[in-house]
Amino acid sequence: MRGRIWGAAAVLALLTGLAPVAAAEAAPVQAERSPSSKSARPLPLERLFDNRAVSDDARPGDADFDGAGASLSARDLAAAGWTPGRVLGVDGARVTWPDTAAGEPDNVRANGQAVRVRGRGDALAFLVAGTGGATTGTGSVRYRDGSRGSYRLTAPDWRGGPLATKSVALPHINTPGGQLTERARLYVVTVPVDRGREVASVVLPRDPGAGADLHVFALSVRVEAKGWTGTWAASTAGYTAVGPWADRTVRLVVHTSAGGPRVRIRLDNTFAGTPVRIGAATVAVRAAGAGARGEPVALRFGGRAETEIPAGAQVFSDPLRFAVPSDAHLLVSFHLPGPVAGAPVHSQALQTSYVSGPGDHTADGSGAAYTSTLRTWPLLTGVDVGGGPGSVVLLGDSITDGVGSTPDTDRRWPDELARRLLAQDDVPRYGVLNQGISANRVLTDRYPGDGVSTDTGGVSALHRLDRDVFAQTSARTLVVFEGVNDLRAGAAASDVVAGLREIALRARERGVRVVAATVVPCEGEARCTGAVDAERVKVNSYLRDGGDFDAVLDFDAVLRDPGRPSRMLPAYDSGDHLHPGDAGLAALGRSVRLSALVP
C-alpha cells in the first residue's frame, strides 16, 4: 500500500471523532526529545523473523502465515519476479524480499521489536501484509542524534485488502487442503520521517490483538533523490492489452520542462502480475518523427544494458552525462526481447510515439525502422535531469492530462506553466510533472487496480497519492485540480471536500507545499446537471475559504462565462463543454500565480 489510504467515509469519521473501519493509515513520524529507551538492542529485521509465510506448492504444510495454515506460493512469487534476496524498487523506495527458502522464517509479526535501520531520507518503507483483517499499530523511530518520534502504521489484509494499492497480487493461496485460486496481496506502506535527521532504529508496532497480526517482510529508509529534478512524468492510468510485442523496440516521444547536464529514466511495471524484460534502452534529442538528432546514447541499469522489472516494481537507469534541453522533445527507446501482451500505460499521451519492426533499434538515429505508431506511453513514467531546484507535481484529471488540446503540439496547461517558469527569474525554475489521468476521480477507482482492463481512468487520487506525488523526484509543491468527475458521477460535495482535505493533510505531513485549484464549470455536458453544478459551487466555496491549502488557484474564475457562471466561456470551450480547448488551457497556464508554488 502507498501511504495512508482513506476513503471519504473514513475521513468524515475522523473529523467526527469516530474511528474509521479498516482504514489503512500511515501517520507522520514527529521527532521529539525523550530519554534513552531501555528496550532490547536493535537487531537486523531478518534476525527477528518468527513466522513462515511462503510454502512450496508441494509442501504447503511447511508454512502457516495466518495461523490457519494458509500461505503464499513460492512458485507464484518467483513467477512475479519476487525471488529470495531480490531488491525491489517500489514508490521510490528499495526493499529486499527475504533471502529465505520456502518454509523458512521470512517475516516478523510486529510486537514492539527493535529493528536496526540506518539511513537518511523522507520516509520509512514497510513491506507488509495483515492477517485476520487490516491491522494497525503505533511504533517509534530513534534518530542518531537521540531524538525520537512515533508513527502509526496499517497493513491491509493479505486476502481482502484493496487491489488498487497493493504492490503485487499473487494468483493463488496455499492451504493444507489444496491450492486456492484466490488473490494474495502484499503492500509497501510508507510513513514520513524527519528529513533533517538520520534514522538509527525503528520499534515495530505492538501486537494489535483480536486474532490479527501485522507482518513485516522488509523495512528501509526511502532515500531522497538529491541532485535531481523531474522534467517529465506520466501516471500509470491502467493495465491494457498491447501489441503483442516480441522483439520490438518502442520509441516514446516526451516533452521536457527543465533541462540539465545529466539524465535518468524511470520504468514502472505497476499493476502487473509478471516481470517485463528490457533488452536495451537509449535516449536522444528528437529531430522529427521517430528520428534522432545525433546518435542515441545507451542507458545502463546497474551497469548493465538490460534489466528486468518485477511485477509491481520500478527501475531507474544509471545517471548518464547527457545534455537535456529544456522545452524540447526527447526520444526514449527500449527493446522488448520477449513477448509483451499487456503493459501499464498512460492512455492519453496526446503525442505520437513509435514501435519498430523486429529487432533492437534503440541505437538507430533514423526513424526508418519504426513502422507503426501508438498514442499511449507504456512503462515509462519519468525522466529526471541533474541539478535544478526540484519539481512541481500537478495531480489532476483529463483537463490536466490535456484532453481537448491539439495532439502533438504540447498545449496542455502544464506545458504553458512550464514555459512560464523557464522564462522568468522571480521563483525557482521548477520542473513540471503532469500527473493528470483522464476520467480520474478523487474518491473512487476507475481502473480496478489489478489485471488487464480497458478502463484507463486510473485508481483514485487518494489511492495514487504516494506513488504519483510523494515518490516523485524532488517534489516540492503539489497542485490538486480534481473533483468534477466525482461530482458528475453523483458524489456529494461533502465527500469530495473530505477527500481534498485528506490530500492536503497528507501533503503537509510529508513536508510538501499543497495548492488547490477550483473546479471549473461544465454546463452543457450531459452529466453536468444543475444539481451537479450546485455541488461544484459548494466544493469551490470550501477551497476558497477553507484554509486547508497553502494557496488556491481560481481556475473557475478564469474559465467561466461571466454572464452564465455555470458554463465555460465559449471561446475557451473545446466543444464538449467539459474540456477547455487550446485557448482555455493556455488561459489556465497563464493564470497560475508563480509565487503560489514557492514554499
Angle between helices 582-591 and 413-422 (to 10 degrees): 40
Question: Which amino acid, residue 42?
Answer: P
pLDDT in tens, the chain (599 residues): 333 333 333 433 333 333 332 333 344 443 333 333 345 899 999 999 999 999 999 999 999 999 999 999 999 999 999 999 999 999 999 999 999 999 999 999 999 999 999 999 999 999 999 999 999 999 999 999 999 999 999 999 999 999 999 999 999 999 999 999 999 999 999 999 999 899 999 999 997 667 799 999 999 999 999 999 999 999 999 999 999 999 999 999 999 999 999 999 999 999 999 999 999 999 999 999 999 999 999 999 999 999 999 999 999 999 999 999 999 999 999 999 999 999 999 999 999 999 999 999 999 999 999 999 999 999 999 999 999 999 999 999 999 999 999 999 999 999 999 999 999 999 999 999 999 999 999 999 999 999 999 999 999 999 999 999 999 999 999 999 999 999 999 999 999 999 999 999 999 999 999 999 999 999 999 999 999 999 999 999 999 998 999 999 999 999 999 999 999 999 999 999 999 999 999 999 999 999 999 98
Rounded to whole angstroms, how far apart are CA atoms 546 and 539?
A: 10
Handedness of CA 522, 528, 531, 537 (dihedral sign): negative
Q: How far apart are CA 173 and CA 181, in angstroms?
A: 7
Closest of 150, 164, 128, 181 to residue 34, by C-alpha: 150
Express each pLDDT in 413-449 by its tens digit. Answer: 999 999 999 999 999 999 999 999 999 999 999 999 9
Model pLDDT, residue 39: 52
* DSSP 8-state assignment for residue 122: S
- Distance, CA of 331 to chain centre: 23
pLDDT, position 29: 43
Q: Residues 6 or more apart from 435 whose CB is under 8 A from it?
A: 233, 234, 235, 393, 394, 395, 396, 400, 468, 469, 472
Handedness of CA 162, 157, 512, 467 (dihedral sign): negative
Q: Of 173, 123, 165, give the one whose Cα is nearest residue 270.
A: 165
Grid cell listed for 277 = 524484460
Cα separation, 258 vs 260, whole angstroms: 7
pLDDT given at position 207: 72
Q: Measure the CA–CA gap between 169 and 157, rounded to whole angstroms.
A: 12
Q: Which residue has the cell 475557451?
A: 572
Side chain identity at 19, as an amino acid letter? A
Q: Tell me how far apart the alpha carbons of residues 427 and 123 are, in angstroms, rounded to a whole number.
A: 27
